[in-house]
Chain A
Amino acid sequence: MPFDSRLRRGLSPITFAAGGTFLVPYRFRYLRRWEALTDMPQLRIVVLVKQVPDTANVTGDAMKEDGTVNRAALPAVFNPEDLNALEEALRLKDRHGARVTVVTMGPPAAVQVLRESLYRGADEVILLTDKAFAGADTLATSYALSLAVRKLGGCDLVLCGRQAIDGDTAQVGPQTAEKIGYPQITCVSRIDELVAPADGAHGAITATRSIEGGFETLTSSLPCLLTVTGEANDPRPASVKLVMTYKGIAAEAMPEYDDTYLDPESDDAEVCMLGRDGKPVCRAKVVQWDHLALEADREALGLRGSPTRVKDIESVVLAQSEARMVEPDEAGVAMLVHELIEEHILG
């Protein structure tokens, strides 16, 4: 029986993990008991990510004849520091147990970064896509993202990359924090400690951020928003098993937020694998929200909600090279070094 049809029939591949050959319904009674035994509120983490043109690797191929960059020639990628943020979320999940929800705003094609988040272990993914979001500057972007976090019912921790490589503004994180009313720790190079919320206590997070010529360590009560830098970690690669599960997944409009499909007990759930803790993991959906789903004020969205305007853009035109070319051989290099020493450029 093909894997997918098993899932459709609500049968669990748990049996694979157990090495058995039977197919059994996933609603094991012991799961309920297990849930009851670990009566802990689950840590909720929201990760904000962005799909960006790969501006970091502008090679000669992406340069036009007139010396400007051919932006269309740049591939769309997962913003690098957002991957670092996702990795921190997944590490916290590995250590403490958590539901990791990834949110992105962008065109329909941005669903790819959500797939890639699922490949790495995200539990729930949300695509904010709507023409009304187009042309947003950081203020309008943070407004939409903050509404999404609200619609999710808030969380304990919001993580995002420090900045995106297309704009390098580093503004959306702090602005989103302000709009949700969460404190912030930006430029985080290390999460030192997380005290998960328990027994009515909010929990706390301690993180270290890079500052000019040093670093500082801060502790925040939860909830809190952190922006993460590339120094923090090396993001994990995609899991082959998860790629197989999610490679074809498409976004579906679900204006009413309803996450029962993530509950193994629910009829909507499809269990796709076992988590590290042995609990069944439900197959995620790509939830798609527009401005109506967010109940957003249209005037605060997209270009209309953006105080800043681009007056003009000047493509950087590279002047014709005036460099004196030196042969990459012993004689050429020796002559150059000799010349630099003669001119007292090199001492």
Chain B
Amino acid sequence: MDSQRSGAIVGGDEAAPDTSRQNDVWVVVEQHDGVAAEVSLELLGRARELATRLGVGTGAVLAGAGEPVRALAPALIALGADTVYLADHEDLGDYLALPYTRLVAGLIRTHQPQIVLYGATTTGRDLAPRVASALRTGLTADCTDLRIGDFSAKGETYADLLFQIRPAFGGNIIATIVSPEHKPQMATVREGVMVMPGADESRTGTVVTVPVERSSAPVAPANRIVLTDADFAVRLVKRVQEEKRVDLKGARVVVSGGVGVGSRDGFALVEELARTLGGVVGASRAAVDAGWVSHEHQVGQTGTTVRPKLYIACGISGSVQHRAGMDQSARILALNSDPRAPIFSVAHYGIVGDLHKVIPLLIQAYRTKV
């Protein structure tokens, strides 16, 4: 079984030990104009820890076009990468799913890392599944924790697997996922759940320049990345970064509304309370999905993680995914008509009642006190 497994993954000499176990832990770094996504840097820190535990090295895949991207490589080494695979090509300037899949899948096939991590951003969640499908390997989305451990099933024990931990089922369960027989083990990881590593300028590492070519016909010479015209079936028309109007992360007070708010008009009450208290408007995913407020206000697993001095949850039942994004707040006030709503379990103060009556009371009480 073991030789089969390594044979399938590593290829080549069947008598060789399972060398996939000795291979690196990788992070696919996301960057725009030479600025790396925070989650990619956070992942370098965790990759370093996982690699130390496994006794292997770390790799970072860095792709883009021109000097700003090349300049990023030393910073990745300082943050924990032993090897930076640098793919600098004019056609890689903008992230596009197909050419990046070609690149990342090609590098994985060549270098056989045992673990590959991606940020759970719109880019990471666009790229990683496509790569996983191309390599026919497993992928776990939106992990909140990663660990190394042993896994036993059907009398077989797999040592040192990546435990990929994530909420599922609307956040009502926490699942630990493993990918025992497929390499690499891949996961996307949510921003803000791993600690940003400190940069160590004295760290040394290697920058490997990845040869990338463009060809009109699909050819695949070994150890080279050849982007074909078909990889550019999609082209970027424009990318617009809006000024970040919502600063949830830096807010002292966050007032969030959920499905219990009932309507867009109801949400206006939440906004008024936030304005009155000098806070920022947050929302549960249900409120965003209902179209009452834009995604940039979303707090929780697929939104922003906040740690304000005061978090007021209005009509939010409190799924694990929402709670994951706010339970570190200094004080939490939950307002809900359902006394059994899970949100009360993380709240410091609870008010059971109709928020259409209670919010005006809060506004009035604050105005008269100040």
Contact = CB atoms under 8 A, between A and B. Distances in A.
Interface in A204-255: 206, 209-221, 224, 230-231, 234
B319 A219 contact: no
A198 interface: no
Contacts of A53: 169
B139 A219 contact: no
A310 B175 contact: yes
Contacts of B319: 55, 58
A334 B365 CA distance: 5
Contact-size category for B: 35 or more
A183 B133 contact: no
A63 interface: yes
Contacts of B176: 310-314
B349 A170 contact: no
Interface stretch (A6-14, A99-107, A161-169): A161-169
Interface stretch (B85-93, B121-129, B262-270): B121-129
Interface string B104-144: 00000000000000000111011011101110111111100
A157 to B, nearest CB: 13
Contact of A171 (B139, B253, B310): B139
Contacts of A341: 366, 369-370
A211 B123 contact: yes
Nearest to A178: B133
Interface stretch (B12-20, B194-202, B204-212, B329-337): B329-337
A58 B235 contact: no
Given A59-B338, A346-B310, A310 B170 contact: no
B312 to A, nearest CB: 10
B361 A218 contact: no
Given A169-B141, A178-B134, A218-B235, A345 B172 contact: no
Contact of A337 (B317, B320, B338, B369): B369
Contact of A340 (B101, B153, B331): B331
Interface in A159-185: 165-175, 177-179, 183-185
A337 B365 CA distance: 7
A314 B259 contact: no
A282 interface: no
Contact of A216 (B140, B233, B239, B244): B239
Nearest to B290: A230
Interface string B37-70: 1000000000000000000000000000000000
Contacts of A165: 170
Contacts of A187: 122, 125-126
B240 interface: yes
B124 to A, nearest CB: 10
B354 A328 contact: yes
B181 interface: yes
Contact of B362 (A71, A175, A333, A347): A333
B289 interface: yes
B193 interface: no
A81 B136 CA distance: 26
B291 interface: yes
B234 A166 contact: no
A71 B175 contact: no
A20 interface: no
Given A68-B172, A174-B133, A231 B370 contact: no
B100 to A, nearest CB: 12
A139 B244 contact: no
Interface string B228-252: 0000011111111110100000001
- Chain B facing A: main interface SS: mixed
B78 interface: no
Interface stretch (B21-29, B219-227, B340-348): B340-348
Nearest to A344: B309
Contact of B130 (A174, A206, A314): A174
A80 interface: yes
Contacts of A219: 234-235, 237
B122 A211 contact: yes
Given A59-B338, A224-B234, A307-B181, A171 B349 contact: no
Contacts of A179: 133
A318 interface: yes
A33 interface: no
Nearest to B252: A347
B237 to A, nearest CB: 4
A172 B153 CA distance: 26
B173 A313 contact: yes
Interface stretch (A23-31, A266-274, A319-327): A319-327
B168 interface: yes
Contacts of B167: 316
B173 A69 contact: yes
A336 interface: yes
Contacts of B352: 325, 328
11 contacts: A138-B129, A210-B295, A214-B239, A220-B234, A231-B295, A311-B177, A312-B175, A328-B352, A333-B365, A334-B368, A337-B362
Given A68-B172, A336-B351, 15 more contacts: A172-B129, A178-B134, A183-B97, A183-B234, A185-B234, A210-B295, A212-B37, A213-B242, A214-B242, A216-B236, A230-B291, A309-B177, A313-B174, A323-B334, A336-B333
Closest 5 CB pairs of A and B: A55-B170, A328-B353, A60-B340, A307-B138, A323-B350
Interface of A: 53, 55-60, 63, 67-69, 71, 80, 137-139, 142, 165-175, 177-179, 183-187, 206, 209-221, 224, 230-231, 234, 306-316, 318-330, 332-334, 336-338, 340-341, 345-347
